[in-house]
Amino acid sequence: MFYVAEIKDHIRVPPELFNLLKVDAITKRIKKDYEGVISKDFGIVIDVGKVKDVKEGIIIPGDGAAYYESVFELFVYKPEMQEVVVGNIKDIADFGAFITLGPIEGMIHVSQTMDDFVSFAKDKTLSGKETKRVLKIGDKCKARVIAVSFKDITNPKLGLTMRQVGLGKAEWSAEAASKTSEASTEEADESKDKKKK
């Protein structure tokens, strides 16, 4: 899920930025310090928003830089359990598929790609035995987050599934809707036939 996080921190502005307006210098340092940061608390920082408040600065002897207590916004992505995400398949291996979800990648274990017996082919595709569904690199898919780990903060892990209704490739959802529609039509026809008798 994408969020706007409000952060309060002391921002160090070095002397070489003293020629800028205070807010511009602080914004520049916030971008340098925060963009791309991954935190268990607020997720992955995508961008820095506006600086909302800046207190009076202080200079620490021996450093020469000014420190400003500041309140500012960060645009972050923090994956949530059970969240439905959309992304493109980046790579496929014999154990599953990797999907790019904007600022992060997730992994879909082979057993979670589809509700079928799945086999891996040398051309990097996953195929369902009975459904004949094929998953290949570049496919756009919907998946649900079933595991989130920030154990290694530099490389957070997302576990995903596509085995639930409405998930997987868009064509799969269209196929399921078509089958459901056909089944409903057949049931309605059978019901009419029974009423006539």
Residue 107 has which token pair? 């992994």
Show Cβ contacts of residue 13 under 8 Å, excluding neighbours closer than 6 positions: 22, 25, 26, 29, 57, 65, 66, 67, 68
pLDDT digit string, tens, across residues 148-196: 998 888 888 999 999 988 899 988 877 766 666 665 666 656 666 666 6
Q: What does the domain layout of the chain look like in residue ranges?
A: 2-77, 84-176
pLDDT digit string, tens, across residues 38-82: 988 888 999 999 999 999 999 988 888 999 999 999 999 999 999
The pTM assigned to this predicted structure is: 0.74
DSSP conformational letter for 83:
-
What is the assigned CATH class of domain 2-77?
A: alpha beta
Q: 107-117 burial, b if ≥16 CB within 10 A, otherwise e? A: bbebebbbbee
Instruction: Using alpha carbons, list the distances in angstroms from residue 142 to 103, 117, 128, 138.
Output: 16, 20, 17, 13
Q: Is the pLDDT of residue 117 over 60?
A: yes
Instruction: Using alpha carbons, list the distances in angstroms from residue 166 to 33, 34, 70, 170, 191.
Output: 40, 36, 44, 8, 28
Instruction: Give the pLDDT score at 151.
Output: 86
Instruction: Give the pLDDT score at 36.
Output: 86
- Which listed CATH number (1.10.357.10, 3.40.50.1100, 2.40.50.140, 3.40.50.1370) goes with 84-176? 2.40.50.140
